[in-house]
Amino acid sequence: MRLRPAILAGTMACALLTGVRARAEGATVTIDNFAFTPAEITVSPGTTVTWLNRDDIPHTVTDAAEPRAFKSPPLDTNDSFRHAFTTPGTYHYFCSLHPHMQGTVVVR
């Protein structure tokens, strides 16, 4: 009978560790009020960044470099776009519908 609490505690600890690892592999940028928040994010190589549009009009996530490494379609409210950053560097992006909206992903 005393073994059950120990097994339960071990299972919960594994679940918590797995959850922490999953969060470390991803990052989220929110699009709202004509802004990317945070405007700059630093991640490790291999991280997938998700952009989530919380604004009430469409926006895009467009790599500023040529050729473009990533470009989302127009994202309506609650739509999301994901891109995995595998190579260290600084990646500037903008909304092609509203070019004053700009952000940066730093991979190191």
Residue 10 burial (CB count, 10 A): 10
Query: The domain containing residue 93 runs over which residues?
Result: 26-107
Cβ(86)–Cβ(74) below 8 Å: no
Residue 3: inside a domain, yes or no?
no
Residue 73 inside a domain? The answer is yes
Look up the CATH number of the domain holding residue 32: 2.60.40.420
Model confidence over 10-47: pLDDT tens digits? 444 444 333 333 334 699 999 999 999 999 999 999 99
| Number of structural domains found in the chain | 1
In a domain, 78, yes or no: yes
Burial of 12 (0-12, 13-18, 19+ CB in 10 A): exposed
Residue 5 domain flag: no
Asked if residue 43 is part of any domain, the answer here is yes
Once rounded to an integer, what is the mean pLDDT over residues 47-54? 98
Q: What's the mean pLDDT in 86-105?
A: 98
Query: Are the CB atoms for 82 and 48 separated by under 8 Å?
Result: yes
Question: Does 10 reside within a domain?
Answer: no
| Within a domain: 91 | yes
Q: Is residue 51 part of a domain?
A: yes
